[in-house]
Structure 1
Amino acid sequence: MSLILATGSNMGERLKNLELAKNSLCEIFNFIDESSIYQSDAIEYTNQPEFYNQVLEFELPDHEPEEVLKMIAAIETKLGRVRHIPKGPRVIDIDIIFWGLQKYSSKTLVIPHPSWNERSFVTLPLAELPYFETIQKTFIIPKSFSNTAKPI
């Protein structure tokens, strides 16, 4: 079972931001694999620069999901994320997409991420990872998207 995280950046040096996020995550989780980096338009709040996105696979940690969420938020803050506009531009965004095949729901976190399979910038990079084979046996994977991400 794997922990699947999606990273995104649309401010500053986007490639560097993704690399810094990956390096920070690798300090606390056991890294398995990474996708290519994809470029996509912003969704929901669309008046902002394009995003670079990547999906990362780690071994499932011994921590609880809420604890991991706090660790991720600390990394986002350390890398300069400020939350001024909901869904607005950000130096870094890190989302928990999958926690193995487990389902989890609280006031602050839902796993699997509720809109992962509606987002090409998550689903297309996810398809590059070893754990995708397990995911596609359990979940319906769309064949097309309204907003298609492209590898850079």
Structure 2
Amino acid sequence: MMQAYLSIGTNIGEREQNLRDAVSMLLAQDEIAITAISSIYETAAVGYTEQDDFLNIAVALETKLDALELLAQCQKVENDLGRIREFRWGPRIIDLDILLYNNEKYETESLIIPHPRMYERAFVLVPLEEIMTQKYVMLEGVLEALQALDIEKEGVKLWKKIATVEEFVPFES
């Protein structure tokens, strides 16, 4: 099994429900097991700032999928939830980004891992640091990047504390 970390964000519609729906759709995949989920953080938009604030989480998972297959699953979740890409950094119902994959560096035309801008974004690093395991080598880079960012200035604030995956998305019997 491969270990991966995702960032999930939303700023359109029922934001918390959008996050729950994305996590539920990932959990429905036999090849994906979510092992941890961060609390929900609210953040002002980055890039194009004339839009509503985002809710963001990070998710740790184990998967049998290779990096490109995982990307395809993330894009399927986005499409199934109605993601429309009007312009870069624009509003979105859901956004799933692969941040880290099995402690590997990966670069193709469609996917770069570690995510190329994650170390510049407090809204990614704060939830990610909350769920990363100490054994993960990339954690050092995350902690260094967090220390370099002014979290308060970046506008990342805890929106809702989440303790477990089951609390966030109750499993159906």
For 2:119 and 2:134, the matched residues in 1 are separated by 12
Query: Is 1:51 aligned with 2:54?
Result: yes
Aligned to 2:98: 96
| TM-score scaled by length of structure 2 | 0.81
Find the structure with the greater CA-based Rg: 2
User: Closer, same or farther in 2 for the Cα pair 1:25/1:84, shift >3 Å?
Assistant: same
Return the offset for 1:85: 1.7
Q: CA deviation at 1:65?
A: 1.1
Q: What is the Cα deviation at residue 138 of structure 1?
A: 5.3
Matched, 1:150 2:151: no
Query: 1:127, CA displacement in angstroms?
Result: 1.3
Secondary structure at the residue paired with 1:54? strand
- 1:48-69 Cα offsets, whole Å, 9 max, x none, are 110000000001x222211111
User: What pairs with 1:19-38 in structure 2 (closer than 5 Å)?
Assistant: 19-28=20-29, 29-38=32-41
Take 2:156 and 2:141, find their aligned partners in 1: how far apart are those partners? 23
Q: How many residues align?
A: 151
What SS does structure 2 have at the residue aligned with 1:5? strand
Deviation at 1:141, TM superposition (A): 2.9
2-structure distance, mates of 1:30, 1:120: 26
- Alignment RMSD, CA only? 1.6
> Could you list the runs of 5+ residues in structure 2 that have no partner in the other structure?
160-173
Residue 163 of structure 2 aligns with which residue?
Answer: none
Q: 1:2, 1:131 within 8 Å by CA — same for their partners in 2?
A: no
Runs (5+) with no aligned partner, structure 1: none
Using the size of structure 1 for normalisation, the TM-score is 0.92
Please identify runs of 4+ aligned residues in structure 1 that moved more than 6 A.
Answer: none
Report what 2:72 is aligned to. Answer: 70
- 1:132/1:44 CA distance change after superposition, 3 Å: farther
Which amino acid in 2 is paired with 1:35?
Answer: S
Q: CA deviation at 1:133?
A: 5.3
Offset, 1:105: 0.2
Partners of 1:101 and 1:78 in 2: CA distance: 29
Bigger mean CA offset, 82-91 vs 132-141:
132-141
